[in-house]
Structure 1
Amino acid sequence: MDLVEKFDAKGKTGAPYHVEVYQIQLDEVGNSVAAGQRTYQLTDGRALDPLSNEKFRIVQTGEKIYRV
């Protein structure tokens, strides 16, 4: 699994979060790579459920956070 993106997010209270996006590379053919499913998590390892491209839910607490 490869780290493909990092971004900051905030909760409703303004608490900052750092999000990491991992993706499995399924197949390499020449110069093209077929990308697998993306996994979102906080830098502390807690899993995130993506609700949209801008909105996520922390699985452990149910808190919604937003990309900034």
Structure 2
Amino acid sequence: MDLVAKFDAKGKTGAPYHVEVYQTQQDEADEAAQAFSRSYKLADGRALDPLTNEKFRIVQTGEKIYRV
């Protein structure tokens, strides 16, 4: 799993969050076709569910945060 991006986000209350994007290459039978899996986490390790490219949900709390 490789760290491929970082960005800032905010909750509705204005609380700041630092988001990290990790990417894992999936092994495919066809070497020409490479598939990647992305996962999103807060800098403190809490998992995120991507809702859109700009909106995420913190799995542990259910809070929605938005890319800034």
**TM surpasses 0.5:** yes
After TM superposition, the score normalised by the length of structure 2 is 0.87
Gaps of 5+ in 1: none
1:58: which partner in 2? Answer: 58
Aligned-pair RMSD on alpha carbons? 1.6
Gaps of 5+ in 2: none
* Structure holding more strand per residue: 1
Matched, 1:6 2:2: no
Structure 1 residue runs of 4 or more that deviate by more than 4 Å after TM superposition? none
Look up the equivalent residue of 1:20 and give its one-letter code. Answer: E
**Cα deviation 1:5-41 (Å, max 9, x = unaligned):** 10000000000000000001235x6xx8824110000
Q: How many residues align?
A: 65
After TM superposition, the score normalised by the length of structure 1 is 0.87
Taking every aligned residue pair, what percent have the same amino acid on both sides? Answer: 80
